[in-house]
A = this chain, B = another copy of it.
Amino acid sequence: MQLGIIGLGRMGGNIARRLVRDGHEVVAYDQDAATAQALVDDGIGHAESLAALVESLDAPRAVWVMLPAGEPTEATIDALAELMAPGDTIIDGGNTFYKDDIRRAKALEPKGLNYVDVGTSGGVWGLERGYCMMVGAEDATFDRLEPLFDSLAPGYGDLERTRGRNAPNERAERGYIHAGPVGAGHYVKMVHNGIEYGLMQAYAEGFELMQSKASPDLPEDQRFDLNLADVAEVWRRGSVVSSWLLDLTAQALAGDPRLDHYSGAVSDSGEGRWTVDAAVEQGVSTPVLANALFSRFASRKENTYANRLLSAMRFGFGGHVEPPKQ
């Protein structure tokens, strides 16, 4: 089918390519004209403006917005809302906060515009592996767009089928789901990323514990100089902790076992934060998800006021003066 796509960064460009490969017709727009131009050789149409993009599509139109969440996405959707016609659909494939989806869908409804939120996982690997998608949409809208999701998804692949699975439809097994009404797609993706933080932190703490085991502070017979690239590799095979993140760990350690390329200041994105906010709002205990987030916060700061205050108290009650940093 036909799709307009806006935003041709790491994700948007590959989504366009994967759709065209599967026979869909794609017209793309990007603020940076050169970026859009570069896709022409891949068979992707190129519009000079938002208005031109909308005009180039047949009604009922579908336009996929693949921009950074927040202001860039919001402004683009506002502009599209002015250009599109009743029956058209705007798809937000970025990392939008699910309550913003709900708000937008309500605002677009009086204009007869449909809104769809697609949570997309797969990162830079999606072109090859396919994208795992969680979609929030009204039923009819989802049904109309389903061919797109089917093309973008990884498909059955060679994964072993889940024992006991007896589901009414096999979309999930092909790599996409209709999670629920508007907002549900990004909600599931948000939790996905919250889990991702927790998983990553679990590996990180464990590998730190293996790396530190070579420390000269330990008794000699308890010191182990472990080959962490080998550990990551062996765990890929038959262990309980095998995962795609472990595959990536094995890959990183194969090339640079000491990880000297990295500063250790770890960024976080909205989804990890929103997950904790959701936990607080719903009264759900999520110590692992929250502490994984807090560890990232701490990784980016030195000598915080909090820690200086601890030292000040220690000096106050015990006259303790801290030794220098390790």
CB–CB B191/A210 < 8 A: yes
A85–chain B nearest beta-carbon distance, Å: 25
Complex contact A277–B277 (CB within 8 A): yes
Residue numbers in B under 8 Å from A249 (CB-CB)? 309, 312-313, 316
Q: Report how far A185 CA is from B173 CA in the complex, Å.
A: 37
- B contact residues around A236 at 8 Å (CB): 159, 162
Judging by beta carbons under 8 Å apart, are B307 and A176 in contact? no
Q: Mark A153-194, 1 if CB is under 8 A from B, else 0.
A: 111011110111111000111111101110110011001111
Most buried by B among A279, A293, A324: A279
Interface residue range, chain A: 35 or more
A252 to B164, CA, bound (A): 8
Residues of chain B within 8 A (CB-CB) of A287 are 201, 205, 287, 290-292, 294-295
Residue numbers in B under 8 Å from A153 (CB-CB): 237-238
Q: Which residues of B contact A312 (CB under 8 A)?
A: 248-249, 252-253, 256, 259, 261-262
Contact (Cβ within 8 A) A263 B175:
no
Determine whether A140 belongs to the interface, using a CB cutoff of 8 Å to chain B. Answer: no
Indicate if the CB atoms of A322 and B187 lie closer than 8 Å. Answer: no
> 1/0 per position for A293-326, CB-CB distance to B under 8 A?
1111111111111111111111111111011111
Partner of A134, one of B234, B252, B314, B326: B234
The 0/1 profile, CB within 8 Å of B marked 1, for residues 76-99 of chain A is 000000000000000000000011
Q: Which residues of B contact A209 (CB under 8 A)?
A: 191, 194, 275, 278-279, 282, 284, 286
Contact with B along A224-268 (1 / 0, CB 8 A): 111101110111111111111111111111111001111111111
Assess whether B325 is in contact with A265, with CB atoms less than 8 Å apart.
yes
Q: Do A252 and B316 touch across chains, with their CB atoms under 8 A apart?
A: yes
Q: Most chain-B CB neighbours within 10 Å: which of A124, A167, A259?
A: A259
A215 at the B interface (CB under 8 A): yes
A276: interface (CB < 8 Å): yes
Specify the chain B residue showing the minimal Cβ separation from A106: B221
Q: Pick the most buried of A133, A236, A287: most chain B CB atoms within 10 A of its CB.
A: A287
Query: Complex formed: what's the CA distance from A256 to B164 in Å?
Result: 9
CA gap between A240 and B42 in the complex, in Å: 27
Q: Which residues of chain B are within 8 angstroms of A300 by Cβ–Cβ distance? A: 283, 325-326
Contact A325 B277 (CB under 8 A): no
Chain B residues positioned under 8 Å from A99 (CB to CB)? 222
Residues in B neighbouring A292, C-beta threshold 8 A = 202, 287-288
With A164-B254, A177-B230, A288-B198 already in contact, the answer to whether A303 and B237 are too (CB < 8 A) is no
Q: Cβ of A163 and Cβ of B264 under 8 Å apart? A: no
User: Does A10 make an interface contact (CB < 8 A)?
Assistant: yes
Q: Are B188 and A210 in contact, with the CB atoms below 8 A?
A: yes
In the complex, A20 has a CB within 8 A of chain B: no
The residues of B that contact A315 with a CB separation of less than 8 Å are: 252, 262
